[in-house]
Structure 1
Amino acid sequence: MPQRRTRVLAVASAAVVALAVLGTQSGAEAGGRGGHGPKPAPKPTKVVVIVVDALSKEIVEKYDMGNVEALMKGGVDSPRSYLGHTGSVTVVTHNVITTGAQPKHMGWTTEGYRDVDGLLGAPGGLYLTSNFGLAQMAPLQQAAGYPHLSDYLDDTGKVFTVSPKGYAAYGLSGPGSPSTSTITFGSGPTCANPDGTTTRYRQPTGVNVPAYFSTACGSRWLARRDTIYDTGQPPAQLYPATDNRYVVGHDPAQQGGDVWAADAALEIMAQEGDGWSGIFVSLPGVDKAAHMWGGVNDPEAATPGYDPMTHMRYATATADAQVGRIVQALEDSGQLDDTLVVLTADHGSVAAAEGHFHGDVELENDYGYYNWYYGAPVNDVPYQRPQDALLPLIEGTDDGTGATNVGFSYSDSSLNVWLKDQSPTAVTAAATIMKDLPDVTAVWKRHGDHYDRVTPVRWDRMRTWGERIWFAAKAQELVDTQAAGYGPDLVATLPDNTTYSVAGDHGGIQRAAQQIPIVFAGGGLSSQDLRGEVRSVDIMPTILRAMGIRATHPMDGVAYELPTRKRGHR
C-alpha cells in the first residue's frame, strides 16, 4: 500500500500574529477595517473528478455544451490547457490524472507494453494494455511506487470510482483499499422476458461494489447487450456499438452509457450522505461516437437508418446533461462549497480527412482492431492482418529468422512500434522504412529517457502554419513522455486529420487530440482563470494543494494555486 497522506494544518505562529498587530498589512489588503473583512474560504474536504472521454475543446465549442461551458465560465478554467503526454489514450490518461505521473514513470505508456521486468509473468513479453484489469494494472502501479488520489482521501471518507470501462476505472482508482470502491460493467445474466424470449445484460462489477448496486434481473443497474443500432455499417462498423455499455439505449428503466455512470454517482451521494471524500466518474459516450463516426465529421442524419443515439450530437448533449446533474446534486445537498469539482478529458479526437485515412475497411464488425494492432500480444488473440499502409514495415523488416522484426505495433493518430531485435542496426532499418509510410511527419527512436528524432521533419505534410507551429513547440515534449523501456522503440508522428485505424481516433500529438478542457470548480473557488499551460499531469498536485494535503511521493506535475472566493462573497 502506498504511503498515507498528511493534511497540512493552518497554524498561526507568534510571528504572524505579531506582524498583524504591528499593522504590516493595511486594512484594505486585509479585506476591511482592522482586518476583519472577508476571509479565505475553508479548503474543500471532498473532490469529484468528471472525465468526459475524448472531449476536445473543439467538440465543446462545436456542440455548444452548455453545462461544460458554464463550469468553464463560473469556475477556474485553463484556456491554454492541453493533455501534455502521449499516448493520448484512455488507458494512460485516467492513471495520469489521479497520480501526477507521466507515462514514462507510471508503468505503461500507451496501448502496447513490453514486460521488461517480468511484472506480469512473461519477461520481455508484449501486452495489450486496453485488456488490462486490476490484476494487471496493480502490479505495474505498485512497482512504480506512487500513491493514487484515492490513497490520500480514503481515511477521511469512502472513495468511489464509476466507469463503464474497466481499465478506465482501475486507472482512476488505483489498487485501492477497503475504503475504495470501483464500479464498472462486466458480463451479466441472461434474463427472461414476458414474451418468452431472453435478453443478455451487463451488470455492475468491480471491487467493493456496494450492495445497493443490485445485479438481479430487472435491476436498474443492468444494461442490455446484443444491440447494434445503426452502427453495423462503415465507418462505424470498424468499432460498432454492440450493446449499451457506451450507448444509453432505448429502455428508460435500464439506461446505459453516460446516464448509467451519472446515475451511479448520484446513487452513491444519496446512499452515503456525507460519508464519502472522493467520487471519480468517467463518461465514455462521446469517445465511442467519435471513434465510430469521425468526431466532428460525423455525417449525422445522412447515415442510412440513422439512429441519433449513436452519434456525436446526442452523445455530447447526453454527456453535458450528466455533468449538469452531478454538479446540481452537489448544490442541492449543500456539499458544493466543500467539494472541489474537476472536469477534464482523457484525450481529444482526431477526425480523419478524405485521403488521410490509412486503415483498411472490411465489412465485418470490429475490423478496426486489425488496424489498431499488429502482432501476437500475450493477453489477446493474434492480430496479423495489417492494413496495406503498414505492410512495407511488416514485410520489410527481418528479425534474423526470415520473419518480420515487428513484435507489436499500435497505430492510431501516431504509429508505435516494438521490435523483436532492438539492436541499433535493426532499429535504424525499421525507422528508414517508417519515414516513407503515408503521411508520416517524423520518426523518433527511444534513447533512454527521451526520444531522438532520426528523420527529417516533413513540414510539407502539414497543411497549416498553426499545425507547424504546434509541432515545433510540442512534438519533442509530447513524444518524450513515453520514453521508458516498456514503451515503443519507435514512434512516427502524423499530421492533423490523419488516422491509421478508425474514422475518429486519439493517440498522437495533434492539437485535436491534445487540446482538452481542464476546469476546477466548486470548493469555494472564484471564476479567475489560470494563465499557465495546465496539463493532465498537473491535475493531481493541484487537487492536493487546493485541499491542503501534503504529497508523500514526488510527482511530475505542477501544483497550481487555485484562486478562491473570500468567505461571505458569492
Structure 2
Amino acid sequence: MARRRLLVSLTAAAVVASIAAAGSPGAAAKPKASPPDKVVIIVVDALSKEIVEKYDMKNVEYLMAQGVDTPNGYLGHTGSVTVATHNVLTTGMQPRNMGWTNEGYRDVRGLIGPAGGLYITSNFGAAEMAPLQRAAGAPHLSDYLDDTGKVFTVSPKGYAAYGLSGPGSANTSVITFASKTCPVPGSTTGATQRRRAPTGINVPAYISAECGSRYVVARDTIYDTGQLPASLYPATDDRYVVGNDPAHQGGDVWATDAVLDIMGHEKDAWSGIFVSLPGVDKAAHMWGGINDPEDATPGYDPMTHMEYATATADAQVGRIMRALKDSGELDSTLVVLTADHGSVAADEGHFHGTLGAGNDYGYYNWYYGDPLNDVFYDKPQPSLQPLVATGNLGLSYSDSSLNVWLTDQSPAKVAEAAAIMEDMPDVTAVWRRDGDHFTRITPVRHDRMGTAERAWFDAKAQELVDTQAADHGPDLIATLPDDTTYSVLGDHGGIQRTSQQIPIVFAGSYLSHRDLDAEVTSIDIMPTILEAMGIAPTFTMDGTAYPLPYKNKQ
C-alpha cells in the first residue's frame, strides 16, 4: 500500500519538472497579443496554505511562485464551506447577497417550498440552487463565457458543481456523480452491483455513464474508514477516493480525467472549465487534517489519508497545467487556483462532538433539527443539549463555528438562546443578526486565543460574520478559537486563520510572477477574471477587480 502513495508523489514531481522545463506559466518571449479568451478554475477543496506547506505540494507551490500569488489573500467570508464558496467564486458576491449563506437556509420568500421552511443546502441540486441563484440576480461566470464557447463544470460533489456552474444555458455542461446499478461482470445469475456514474446537465457522450465506462467507479468500499474518527464521515465509495481499479479511478483523478477529455474533444470550442477536487477535503474531515495519524491507523490504507490525498490533488494540478501547455492553450487561458475553505484540526480537549458509533454519525454533530429536505437530526452532542431543551431550535449547523436558526425569533427568545450559547465550550463570542450586519452581544474571550489569533479575531471577525447577514441566514453565530470543532476532527466553517488562509493564484496568459499585495478574497476572483478577459460586467459585484501584471505587455 505504501508504494501506491509513492507513485502518486513521483507523478506530481515529474509534472512539476515538465512544466518547469517548458517555462513558467506565461513565460513566452513574445508580447501579450490579446486578453485571454479562456479560463480554467481549479478548486482544491479544503486547501489551506498550512496544508500546502506541510505536505510540500510542489505543483501548487510552483504556481504560487511563478504565477501571480496573493500572499495577503484569504477566503473572506463565512460560512467557509463548500456549498457557499463555490457559488461565491463564480458570482463575485458575498454569501449574504448570493442566495444562501451556509449549510442552513430559511426560505423566507418561499422560493423553493413553504415560506419559512428550513433546509440543508448541501442537499441542494440544480432544482433548488437555480431559483435561489436567479432570485439573487448576479450572473455567473458561465453566463459571460457561454457567448464565446462551451462552459464545463466538473465536480464529484453535486452541490459544488451546481454552485460553480450557476443555472447555465444550452452551452453549459455540468458533470458530477450519481448512483447506478450495473451487472456483475461474468455473472450468470443476473447479480448486480452499485456504482457511481456521471450525471448532470448536457453531459458529453464521451463522458459515458454506461456500465463498464472509465467514468463508472466503485461503490460500497470503505477502505480503513469504518473506524473512529473517520467513521463519523467515512469514505464508502470512490466518489472522493481514487480507488484500487486503475481503469476506473475515482475522486480527483476522475475529475481531472474528465477535464482532459473535455480539452481533447472540444479543443477550440470551450471557453471555460471549472473543476473541483475533493480528495483533500474528505481526508481532512475523516482524519483531522494536519493531525492525521497516517500509518499509526489500524489497518492503514494510505489512499484515504492526507499525505496521499495532497499528493494526488497536487498531481492533478500539474496534469491540467501540462495539458494546457502541450495543447498550446496556456498563453490564451487564464488559470485560477484556489480553495473553497481551509481546514481546522481539533486538538485534544477541543473536540465537542460525539464520537458516536455507526458510519456517518458526524451528521448528528453537524446538524440538529428537522429540515424539509433531510431526516430529523435528533441526536445532539451534549454541548448543544441546553439549546435544544429550549424547544426553540429550528435548525443548527455546527462545525468550527455554531450557527442557529430559531423557530421563535422574538428578541426575548433570541436573547435566551444567545445566553446559552455564550456558556458553550470554547465559544469566543456570540453574534446576533441585526439586518445587514451582526452585532456582538457578549464579551470577547481573548483568553481562549493565542496571541496571533487574537490579532486575527480583532481584525477580521466582524467582517467575516457580517457576510452571512441575510434574513435567510442564521439568527445567531458563536465563533470558536482555532483547533476547535463541534462536528468531525477536521472541519471548516469559521473565522479561524486555518479556515480562512487559502491560496488564490492566477497563472497562464503571459502573466508575470509579480504578486498582488492587496488582501484579495474569494469575491475578488470573478471581477478580476472579467477584467483580465476584457469583459464588461452587467451587474455590480461585491468584489474588486484587480489588474493582473503581465510580462512584455504591449
Normalised by the size of structure 1, how large is the TM-score?
A: 0.91
Find the residue that maps to 2:463 and give its secondary structure: helix
Distance (Å, rounded) in 2 between the aligned partners of 1:130 and 1:38: 46
Q: Distance in 1 between matches of 2:461 and 2:121?
A: 24
The size of the alignment, in residue pairs, is 524
Q: Contact 2:181–2:192 (CA<8 Å) still a contact in 1?
A: no
Report what 1:454 is aligned to.
441
Tell me the equivalent position of 1:561. 547
Mapped contact 2:104–2:474 kept (Cα < 8 A): yes
Q: Following the alignment from structure 1 to structure 2, what is the Cα–Cα distance between the partners of residues 38 and 232?
A: 55
Query: Per-residue deviation at 1:72?
Result: 0.5
Query: What SS class does the counterpart of residue 550 from structure 1 fall into?
Result: coil
The AA in structure 1 aligned to 2:374 is: D
Following superposition, the deviation at residue 190 of structure 1 comes to 2.2
In 2, are the aligned partners of 1:191 and 1:201 still within 8 Å (CA)? no
Q: By how many angstroms is 1:258 displaced? A: 0.1
Residue equivalent to 2:486: 500
1:461 to partner: Cα distance: 1.1
Give the C-alpha shift of residue 39 in structure 1. Answer: 5.0
Q: 1:567 to 1:557 in 2, by over 3 A?
A: closer
Aligned AA (2:471): G
Runs of 4+ in structure 1 off by over 2 angstroms are 37-41, 193-199
Out of 389, 414, 433, which is 1:427 matched to?
A: 414
Aligned to 1:79: 71
Write out per-residue CA displacement over residues 240-277 of structure 1, whole angstroms, 9 at most, x where no aligned residue: 00000000000000000000000000000000011100
Cα distance in 1 between the residues matched to 2:362 and 2:426: 19
Q: 2:43 aligns with which of 41, 47, 51?
A: 51
CA contact (8 A) 1:445 1:452 kept: yes
Which one-letter code corresponds to 1:141 in the other structure? Q
Q: Structure 2, unaligned stretches of length 5 or more?
A: 1-28
- For the pair 1:406 / 2:390, whether they are aligned, the reply is no
Q: Quick check: 547-556 or 195-204, which moved more?
A: 195-204
Match of 1:537 among 503, 523, 529: 523
Aligned to 1:282: 276
Give, as a single letter, the amino acid of the residue that structure 2 aligns with 1:329: A
2:346 to 333, 341, 352: 352
**Root mean square deviation of aligned Cα:** 1.1
Who wins on radius of gyration, i.e. which is larger? 1
Secondary structure, counterpart of 2:247 in structure 1: coil
Q: Which of 95, 109, 112 is the aligned partner of 1:103?
A: 95
Deviations 1:368-387 (A, max 9, x none): 00000000000011001100
Question: Within the alignment, does 1:308 sit opposite 2:302 as a pair?
Answer: yes
- Render the CA deviation track for 1:141-181: whole Å, top value 9, x for unaligned: 00011100000000101000000000000000000000000
User: Residues 82-481 of structure 1 correspond to what in structure 2 (within 5 A)?
Assistant: 82-194=74-186, 198-395=192-389, 397=390, 404-462=391-449, 464-481=450-467
Percent identity over the alignment? 73
**Contact between 1:44 and 1:547, CA under 8 Å: does it hold in 2?**
yes
1:223–1:255 Cα contact (<8 Å) kept: yes
Determine the C-alpha separation between the residues in 2 that align with 1:191 and 1:214.
16
Uncovered stretches (5+) of structure 1, i.e. residues with no partner: 1-36, 398-403
State how far apart, in whole Å, the 2-side matches of 1:505 and 1:217 are.
35
Taking structure 2 as the reference length, the TM-score comes to 0.94
C-alpha displacement at 1:567, in angstroms? 5.4
Q: CA deviation at 1:74?
A: 0.8
Residue 189 of structure 1 contacts residue 203 of structure 1 at CA under 8 Å; is this kept in 2?
Answer: no
How many angstroms does 1:97 deviate by? 0.2
d(CA) in 2 for partners of 1:200, 1:481 = 41
8 Å Cα contact 1:247-1:309 kept in structure 2: yes
2:509 corresponds to which residue?
523
Q: Give the CA deviation at 1:189.
A: 2.3
Q: 1:393 Cα deviation (Å)?
A: 1.2
CA contact 1:44–1:340 (8 Å) conserved in 2: yes
Q: What is the SS of the residue equivalent to 2:248?
A: coil
Structure 2: distance between partners of 1:513 and 1:150? 27
